[in-house]
Amino acid sequence: MKVLLDTCAVIWATLSPNSLSPQARETIADEANTILVSAASAWEIATKVRLGKLPGAEKLEQDYLAVMEEAGYELLAIDTASALRAGRLTAEHKDPFDRMIAAQALALDVAILSSDPQLDQFGVRRIW
pLDDT at 69: 98
Amino acid at 25: R
Domain ranges (residues) in the chain: 2-127
pLDDT at 102: 98
Strand partners, 37: 5, 75
pLDDT at 3: 98
Q: How many CB atoms lie within 10 A of CB 15?
A: 14
pLDDT at 67: 98
List pLDDT tens digits, range 38-79. Answer: 999 999 999 999 999 999 999 999 999 999 999 999 999 999
What is the residue-wise DSSP string for the chain? -EEEEPHHHHHHHHH-GGGS-HHHHHHHH-TTSEEEEEHHHHHHHHHHHHTT-STT-HHHHHTHHHHHHHHTPEEE---HHHHHHHHH--SS---HHHHHHHHHHHHHT-EEE-S-GGGGGGT--EE-
pLDDT at 95: 94
Taking the C-alpha atoms of residue 52 and residue 79, their distance in angstroms, rounded to an integer, is 28
**What global pTM score does this model have?**
0.95
CATH superfamily of 2-127: 5'-nuclease (3.40.50.1010)
